[in-house]
Structure 1
Amino acid sequence: MNSSTSPIIFAVQLQLQLQQLLKTSIAFFFFFYFYLIFLYPSIHPSMAVLNRLFNLRSLSSPSSSSFLRGFSALTSETDLRPPPSLSNAGLLLPRDPKDRNVQWVFLGCPGVGKGTYASRLSHLLGVPHIATGDLVREELSTSGPLSLQLAEIVNQGKLVSDEIIISILSKRLESGGAKGESGFILDGFPRTIRQAEILEGVTEIDLVINLKLREDVLVEKCLGRRICSQCGGNFNVANISIKGVNGRPGIYMAPLLPPAHCASKLITRSDDTEAVVKERLRVYNDMCQSVEEFYRSRGKLLEFDLPGGIPESWPKLLHALNLEDHDDKQSAAA
Structure 2
Amino acid sequence: MTLVGRRLTAEAFRWGRAASGAVQRAMDPPSSWSLRVEAPSKRQVSKNGMHWVFLGCPGVGKGTYASRLASLLSIPHIAMGDLVRQELSQPSEASKKLIYAMSQGKLLPDQVVVSLLSTRLEKGALEGEKGFILDGFPRNTTQAEILEQVTEIDLVVNLKLREDVVISKCLGRRICSQCKGNFNVANIDVEGSDGGPRISMPPLLPPPSCATKMTIRADDTEEVVRERLRIYAEESKPVEDFYRLRGNLFDFEVAGGIPETWPRLLDALNLSEKDCTHQKVSV
After superposition, the C-alpha distances for 1:245-292 in whole angstroms (9 at most, x for unaligned) are 662432000111122222211100000000000000000011112111
After superposition, the C-alpha distances for 1:38-96 in whole angstroms (9 at most, x for unaligned) are xxxxxxxxxxxxxxxxxxxxxxxxxxxx98xx55717xxxx58x95875xxxx4578xx
Aligned to 2:257: 309
Gaps of 5+ in 2: 277-283
The alignment's TM-score, normalised by the length of structure 1, stands at 0.73
8 Å Cα contact 2:15-2:146 kept in structure 1: no
Aligned to 2:170: 222
- What displacement does 1:217 show? 0.2
8 Å Cα contact 1:93-1:100 kept in structure 2: no
8 Å Cα contact 2:154-2:248 kept in structure 1: yes
Give the number of the structure with larger relative contact order, counting CA–CA contacts within 8 Å between residues 6 or more apart: 2
- What displacement does 1:144 show? 2.1
Find out whether 1:125 has 2:73 as its counterpart: yes
- What displacement does 1:120 show? 0.3
Find out whether 1:146 has 2:105 as its counterpart: no
- What displacement does 1:167 show? 0.9
Find out whether 1:165 has 2:124 as its counterpart: no
Gaps of 5+ in 1: 25-65
Higher helix share: 1
8 Å Cα contact 1:155-1:270 kept in structure 2: yes
Aligned to 1:252: 200
Q: Which of these residues, 7, 10, 33, is aligned with residue 13 of structure 1?
A: 10
8 Å Cα contact 1:112-1:211 kept in structure 2: yes
Cα distance in 2 for partners of 1:160, 1:98 equals 30
- What displacement does 1:146 show? 2.2
State the number of aligned residues.
Answer: 271
- What displacement does 1:16 show? 6.7
Find out whether 1:73 has 2:21 as its counterpart: no
8 Å Cα contact 2:49-2:132 kept in structure 1: no
* Identical positions, percent: 54
CA root-mean-square deviation: 3.0
The alignment's TM-score, normalised by the length of structure 2, stands at 0.86
| Bigger Rg, structure 1 or 2 | 1
AA partner of residue 255 (structure 1): P
Structure-2 change in CA distance of 1:124 and 1:93 (3 Å): farther
